[in-house]
Structure 1
Amino acid sequence: MNATSPTSAPASEHADPLLTAEAYLLDVDGTLIDSNYLHVIAWQRALRDANTAAPAASIHAAIGLDSAKLLDRIAPEADDEQRDRISSRHSAHYSDLSEELALLPGARELLRLLHERGTRVVLATSAPQEEVDRQLEVLDAEQWIDAITTAEDVETAKPEPDVFAVAIERAGVPAERCVAIGDARWDMIAAAKAGVVAVGVETGGTDGGVLTEAGAVSVHQGVQEIVDLLQRSA
């Protein structure tokens, strides 16, 4: 992983944070990798294994949450033993589906471009290490990434700010000079709690209006739009 020092100037009050940020804190699922709906399928199958069910829309709305909070929403009647089984079965089913993971348009280009601009890049995820390892295989871009967070780094995932707090520390850049990019309302809420400007992308399936309401200062169809913006500003 690289250790390039940022060269961007501090963001002014009216500047686009995407153009002035010294560090990008990037969610992965639904932002860089097209994985959210695979998670939905894995949770559906895990619930079925536990003789219960939840609508796909309800599961999708909870994707990106801390797993305990997600289970509160999709399996509210489950006891601790059932919750453990559902979570374990989700991991197994998701592993089976992981060969279908694909990059979202602009993902690698964004990482490369940020590296070339001297911007710090941190993958801000609370996924288990085995999922992160698979994500890194799909991204094939470790040379452009400065740091990564995983489930082992935090006690509570989004919408709590822990993931972004660790990402800020590893970026070595003050929170006010970072920008967080994510696809879920939980990303926007967590970023705000961490004192970081949040930018939304719609590639995870969440409507831009929902992301804006949750705190996004801007919303883009996907990271390819952010690549285009950065290239136009060069």
Structure 2
Amino acid sequence: MTDRLKDKVAIITGAASGQGAAEARLFLQEGAYVVATDVQFDLLKKQANKFAEKFGDRILPIIQDVTKEDDWQKVVDQTMAKFGKIDILVNNAGIGNTDTTSGLEDSTVDDWHHFMDINAMSHFLGMKYVVPYMKQNGKGAIVNVSSLASVQGIAGASPYTASKGASRALTKGAARDLGQFNIRVNAVLPGWIVTPMMQQFTLSKKLLDELIAGIPMGYLGNPEDVGYAVLFLASDEARFVNGTEIVVDGGQSVRG
């Protein structure tokens, strides 16, 4: 542990598994107090119990539907009651596209709203509810987890791509709004990362080989690869980094 986040209080959504769990673990290792939220509370509680064995009461799990304003109010209220401040927000919670074989015309309005609500609106709500407390502190760091899809697009996944693009654009706008308050807003754009969300894409050796063939590094990323990028943006090391994005894709975007 190097104390890069010593005594900072961070809210991390979607922290029950995958990238969110990796981010929570890295933050705890670096001295932060972590409020870990997820809609899958049993899984979250199990993960939090593991963290508590090593990090004690510096982890607070809260069940949360990130699309509900009442749930965001609950999270900030419990965070303030437990830790007294909010320094960092990581809008990590999101959903992936489970079917990339359908065309745009097969997508429904419900599909559109589902992706936009979870992958974009939740980021807006998270910022809306934590910013007043960050203003009280005189500083803050927000990291929105978007996707490489917001740059390249994914065939058969237009609503998903649009939702990640909305998060990316929201990051830019919020950075302009909040920089004057010493609140930084940045984004991380993961490529193919081995998480439960993308398990379906790794079950077929043929598809897996195709994915890897498009990555110059020659392998898929892991959750910690994303977590370290988030950690940097959340830390004071990035004090002059605002409105930007870090692509974590092994060079996939370089090949186009």
TM-score (norm. length: structure 1) = 0.44
Instruction: Give the structure, 1 or 2, with the largest relative contact order (CA under 8 Å, sep 6 or more).
Output: 1
TM-score (norm. length: structure 2) = 0.41
